[in-house]
Amino acid sequence: MQIDFTFSDTIAGYVSSYNSEENYFTLRTSDDRNFTVYLTPSTYARYSYNLGESYQDATGGIPTLLALPRQFVYAYGSFYPTGDTGRFEAQWLVFPGHGPGVYRHEEPDWWINQSRSIGRSYMKWQFDHPEQEIDYRNYRTMLNLAGSKQGDYLQETDTISRLVYGLSTAYMMTGEEPFLSAAEKGSQYLRDQMRFYDQDEDIVYWYHGIKFEGDKQSKLLTSEFGDDYYSIPMYEQIYALAGLTMTYRLTGDPKIMWDIRKTLRIFEKFKDNDQGGYFSHIDPIDLNPRADSLAHNRSRKNWNSVGDHAPAYLINLYLATGDKMCADFLEYSFDTIIKYFPDYEHSPFVNERFHEDWRKDQAWGWQQNRAVVGHNLKIAWNLMRMASLKHKDEYVSLARQIAEVMPEAGSDRQRGGWYDVMERVARPDDRHHRFTWHDRKAWWQQEQGILAYTILHGVLHDEHYLRMARESAAFYNAFFLDHDDGGVYFNTFANGLPYLLGTERFKGSHSMSAYHSMELCFLAAVYTNLLITRQPMVFYFKPYPGGFPDNILRVSPDLLPKGSIQIERCWIDDDPYNDFNSGALTVNLPTVDRRHTVRVKIAPTQWLNGR
């Protein structure tokens, strides 16, 4: 193809040379292709800057920054078809840091401050906080770009739960009481309004949500989402526990634990004890995963029903309790993934949907024989977490295999970032897997890439994984932060500019509710500080008197390698407190008659040169 037209695009890479006299520099992409980028008198530049910060201009520093070999930079500009090779002129540049190997997202408080800003935005949008009291009757699933609401509405259980999760993590990192108050009120609202207790089966189910039409309210047991219509999808029951479990980690509220335990009975009830795994949908009338009414979801298993337990609630439930049942459940889930999901003889992407007997389901709905890039990255991320709880060579091996093949198969090696849905099998003469619908990039898939490669490097110390982690986080922080209205964008174009059409322009929807963005902040801060840059972190808890069994508060922020972190100091209401087990990451709480704030300082056990 001869390109004889102009177009604008982004190129990301490392500076390899700079000619100040002719005003151009050479950029080497992540996959080692070289581009010449020309500067013009109107080219300007900025540094990546965080939510809540003012614009940080870098225009005056362009010559100095480009003179530094291996400086990472994004160049957005126009291609002109002139001469033999064409000419690319930069309109603007983004530098992720102030020098080669310097990335602002590795600053100790970067992700903490971002979490605080996102949390405050959602509390303002949903509850008009701090001007008004937090009241979940005002919650809306749908929020537009600026966070405003409109008309009749639906309150979805899962999106409330996801918001509660995010606000709980913000409290754990900042200790700011409004976050805890919002998390606890949201947990109580879920219990009061969205819970159905089946006394005969001794099981708690969670409604899909409540529909509000004028003065009329209708509780919906079955999903209103097109793929799952008129069924109870297991992923909705799974994510109903996300916020509750994270709140429990902070408070030890026994009422929350009662609901969690009763909900777990759903998964045990609909586990396939003959052929393994968990069914993805059940019929709402006879509670049967094999009912004909389920149509294309009849007798099916998928990534969500098998794999989403771990990141949504199960790892956090284990961290809060140390319960062997949780550890066994996690091991069973990951062993199932290892056994059935890889398909490297046919594709670099895992299979995600299956029939009851584990035959591949490559004719289901929109997915067909297609891959969700983020699900592959999510598997790698969570396998590395699980390997710290119970090491198995096959866990690390599959995580590494995914990490090795995903950059070529699912990332944008020219502009940065991770794609959305791809065809699993490339055409015979194609160098790249085809996009299913578009080449846009979703915020949650960037999260999976960032967390996967950050923990891979933090645990395995492979420099390739560090480079991928940095490039992934740099793209996200350069392009996904909404500095005008707050929060993060749902999608960007391939070039990084925000995509603001349809429901993808919203800050609240069936898919988005401060979960992935704040989960990213929490765990990126944990992995970066405690495993990579080796900086201590402070975490906050506010347990109920006698809430946690044996008055033991477990404070490990995530599943990290055994012996890699320890409690350095502890305070109760700002008074030093010494009754803790540093290596076990537990605090023996005092017998009290009211709630107190427990603050713990967790530090790496080794410094940078002590790996």
Tens of pLDDT along 104-138?
Answer: 999 999 999 999 999 999 999 999 999 999 999 99
Res 137: pLDDT? 94
What is the Cα–Cα distance from 330 to 312, expressed in whole angstroms? 12
Give the pLDDT of residue 85. Answer: 85
- How many domains are contained in the chain? 3
Does 20 score more than 70 pLDDT? yes
CA distance 222 to 207: 7
Q: Are residues 454 and 565 in the same domain?
A: no
Residue 363 covered by a domain: yes
Mean pLDDT, residues 592-608: 91
Residue pair 517/487 in contact by the 8 Å Cβ criterion: yes
Domain boundary among 34, 67, 102: 102
Average pLDDT, stretch 467-477?
Answer: 98
* Structure tokens given for 471: 């490039």
* 54 and 194 belong to one structural domain: no
pLDDT(406) > 90: yes
Q: Residue 1 falls within a domain, yes or no? A: no
Q: Which two tokens stand for residue 351?
A: 């299979």
Mean pLDDT of the chain: 96
Nearest to 553 by CA among 599, 604, 518, 594: 599
The answer to the question of residue 457 being in a domain is yes
Q: Given a cut of 60, is residue 608 above it in pLDDT?
A: no
pLDDT tens by residue, 490-548: 999 999 999 999 999 999 999 999 999 999 999 999 999 999 999 999 999 999 999 99
HSE-CB for 102 with a 13 A CA cutoff:
11
User: What is the CA angle 308-311-317, rounded to 5?
Assistant: 110
One-letter amino acid for residue 184 of the chain: E
Dihedral angle sign, alpha carbons of residues 355, 360, 366, 371: positive
Q: Looking at residue 180, which CATH number applies to its domain? A: 1.50.10.10
- Residues 146 and 284 grouped into a single domain: yes
State how far the Cα of 124 lies from the Cα of 106, in Å rounded to an integer: 28
Of the listed ranges 47-51, 149-153, 330-334, the one predicted with least confidence: 149-153
DSSP 67: T
| Per-residue pLDDT at 1 exceeds 70 | no
Average pLDDT over residues 200-217: 92
Q: CA nearest 286: which of 277, 298, 296, 278?
A: 298
User: Which among 280, 303, 299 is positioned nearest to 291, based on CA atoms?
Assistant: 299
Name beta bridge partners: 90: 77
**Residues 425, 302 within the same domain:** yes
User: Would you state the pLDDT for residue 380?
Assistant: 98
Determine the pLDDT at residue 188.
98
Task: Judge if 446 and 516 occupy the same domain.
Answer: yes
Instruction: Tell me what pLDDT residue 609 has.
Output: 44
Residue 2 is assigned to a structural domain of this protein: no
Single-letter amino acid code for the residue at 39? L
Please say if the pLDDT value at position 607 is more than 90.
no
The two counts, helices (H) then strands (E), for the chain are 15, 26
CA separation for the pair 173, 540 (Å, rounded) = 6
Which of 102, 128, 163 represents a domain boundary (last residue)? Answer: 102
Q: How confident is the model at residue 225 (pLDDT cuts 50, 70, 90)?
A: confident
Tell me the mean pLDDT in the region 583-601: 97
State the pLDDT confidence band at 152, using cuts at 50, 70 and 90.
low
**Residues shown for the chain:** 611
Q: What is the pLDDT of residue 84?
A: 82
Task: Give percent of the chain above pLDDT 90.
Answer: 94
Strands 580-581 and 586-588: antiparallel
**What H or E segment, with its residue span, contains residue 515?**
helix 515-526
Cα 554 to Cα 112, 318, 387: the distances in Å are 21, 10, 19
- The CATH number of whichever domain residue 61 belongs to comes to 2.40.50.320
- Residue 611 confidence class, pLDDT cut points 50, 70, 90: very low
Please indicate, yes or no, whether residues 256 and 171 belong to a single structural domain of this protein: yes
- 120 occurs within a structural domain: yes
SS3 content of the chain, % helix, strand, coil (to 5): 40, 20, 40
Mean per-residue pLDDT, 371-388? 98
Mean pLDDT (whole number) for 2-11: 92
Residue 61 Cα to chain centre, angstroms? 34
Q: How many CA atoms lie within 13 A of 432 on its CB side?
A: 13
Q: CA nearest 560: which of 381, 318, 388?
A: 388
401, 545: one domain: no
The token duo for 334 is 């990951």
Q: What average pLDDT does range 319-340 have in this prediction? A: 98
- pLDDT value for 150: 77
Q: Judge if 160 and 260 occupy the same domain.
A: yes
Q: How far is CA 275 from CA 300, 341, 355, 566, in A?
A: 12, 15, 11, 41
Return phi, psi of residue 312, to 5°: -70, -45
Q: Per the structure block, which two tokens stand in for 46?
A: 């900025």
Confirm if 492 and 440 have CB atoms less than 8 A apart: yes
Judge if 288 and 380 occupy the same domain: yes
Q: Report, in angstroms and rounded to the nearest whole number, the Rg of the chain calculated over CA atoms.
A: 24
Domain contains 398:
yes
Residue in 237, 249, 245, 246 with CA at minimum distance from that of residue 208: 237
H or E element, residue 560: none
H-helix or E-strand containing 19? strand 7-19
Residue 420 lies in a domain: yes
**Residue 94: left (phi > 0), alpha (psi -120 to 50), or beta?**
beta
- Give yes or no for a contact between 474 and 103, defined as CB atoms under 8 angstroms apart: yes
Residue 549 domain boundaries: 537-610
DSSP letter string, 243-260 = HHHHHHHHH--HHHHHHH
Confidence band for 3, pLDDT divided at 50, 70 and 90: confident
* Rounded Cα distance, 168 and 519, in Å: 10
Say yes or no to pLDDT of 244 above 70. Answer: yes
Q: What percent of the chain has pLDDT over 70?
A: 99
The neighbour count for residue 608, using CB atoms within 10 Å, is 9
- Tell which of 469, 501, 532 closes a domain: 532
Buried b (16+ CB within 10 A) or exposed e, 230-240: bbbbbbbbbbb
Query: Do 239 and 158 contact (CB within 8 A), yes or no?
Result: yes
Residue 331: CB atoms within 10 Å: 15
CB 250 within 8 A of CB 180: yes
| 352 and 254 within one domain | yes
Q: What is the DSSP letter of 152?
A: S
Looking at the structure, do residues 245 and 287 belong to the same domain, yes or no?
A: yes
Contact assessment for residue 382 and residue 311, using Cβ atoms and an 8 Å cutoff: yes
User: Contact at 8 Å (CB) between 541 and 598?
Assistant: yes
Query: Inter-axis angle of helices 443-460 and 463-479, to 10 degrees?
Result: 150
Task: Please give the backbone phi and psi of residue 95, each rounded to the nearest 5 degrees, phi first.
Answer: -105, 125
Q: Give the residue among 299, 135, 151, 178 at the shortest CA–CA distance from 231.
A: 299
Do 153 and 247 fall within a single domain?
yes
Q: Tell me the pTM.
A: 0.97
Q: What's the pLDDT tens digit per position in 407-452?
A: 999 999 999 999 999 999 999 989 999 999 999 999 999 999 999 9
